[in-house]
Structure 1
Amino acid sequence: MSKILLIVLANITACFATNFTISTQNLWHYTKSYESRLDSLIQNIDTEKAEIMTFQEAWKSIGGKSLFNVFIENEELNVHYYKTNNTIIMREGLAIASTYEQVGKKLAYTLPHSKKIFGKRIMIVSKIRLSNEKEIYVINVHFSPFEDRKHERVDQLNFVIDKIRNHFSDRPVLLTGDFNQDQDDEFYRPLYDLGFRESARKDQIGCTFCSENPLTDAPFNSKLDYIFYQEEFLKLENVRKTFTENPISDHFGLRAEFSFH
């Protein structure tokens, strides 16, 4: 087949491609059980990765260990990485990696209650071109942890919603990340009112921060990780948890497939 024909076919495919996959994964910024986690990642990455991937605690140790780097090393990916916390032994951040082009400026905002040392809370945004006709915004967040900081998470969610309303309402939005907040309709009501829905509720898919995960260091059964989408623009085709049999983190990930209406 001629090179010209291949280019034409690729352009036609890009114009009509409407289905895409997206995942979110907290990578747990500790090197505990690193070798077994790395082995699980290498064995399962082909089935668990997505065309768009968002990461929290995307870390690299001073010794060169990094699950995040494994995710992105074998692909021609476009990566938006924003450093959040540095220590003597570890560097970590938020990331959006995609097989699709990320166009325009890659943005980052400091969330309310962000701390300068060991507690920086950030929202990053990428505009992703899925085809010649379709562009979306992907937002990745990591909210404050711990049960007694729900008031911080409320302020952080309201900040994100304000940004979406005022700066990112001209294209469909996917909001992903570790919200550190279990399924709570009152907490997430402002997102519902804005037309967002979870790709999976807890009663459908179960927990993502779970005592059944041997890497989770406490008896929790919480759904902290989410992929929110706007029903007006996108149709959920399927969703599932990732890395459940052999975990790579104290969080299970989520992977969803969407199409346009």
Structure 2
Amino acid sequence: MNIIIIEDELKAARSLESIILELRPHSKIVTKLQSVESSVAYLSENKQPDLIFMDIQLSDGLCFEIFKSVKVSCPIIFCTAFDEYSLEAFKANSVDYVLKPFSKTDIADAFKKVDELRNFFQQGSTPDISSLLSQITPPAGKKSFLVFKNNKYITIATNDIAFFYIRNELSTIMTFDQQEYVVNQSLDQISGQLSQDQFFRLNRQYIVNFSAIKEVEHYFMRKLFVKLTIPTPEKLLINKEKAPVFLSWLENR
């Protein structure tokens, strides 16, 4: 199997290469690329590999820019530190979406999905589409969260949550009626349970509900300033790298 790694962090690229070759010793790492520009150039001039491992935030922008310039027909496994891009990733030949820091088990599971996908289409019989989609389609999202407040367990409906944020180093729910509840999970864990159609991870501190967004303004340094229907403790800013993905999310829900 010929494999390409597109990753701008050299340490992560080396770690990924080591795990791949340990799991699949007969595979060949054809090349390791670090940017959108170099990836477009390579894929335009060379034969498609059998599989690509791809980071999302590269040295010169988001990897999705690659697909605007060159057709990529092979399966892709995205390896990233941010889970808010998974909706875009699943539109781009994604077989799996692995969050950093990834483990050997994560990569082994991703290879398993690649193998199963190939087996489906190599068989003469019709593939089990529902089974296939269950592996490559993002989950619908958690319907409620159990919280503990005033010596009571309370269930908060996800639709009633305006945003999640970090307050005093704790993950906190803010409802539309401005009630706060501490959640015993990290924002990374919470984000992975939410509907990507309904919620967006603005930055490391905030996950917001689409229904809570009032308006979006341009800000300094090509950032975006997001205003919600209820007040927030600080300005909600999106960096220039994530801004296009956020605007696409707003438009394509």
Common fold by TM > 0.5: no
Which protein has the larger Cα radius of gyration, Structure 1 or Structure 2? Answer: 2
Higher relative contact order (CA 8 A, sep 6+): 1
Which structure has more helix as a fraction of its residues? 2
TM-score range, shorter chain: under 0.3
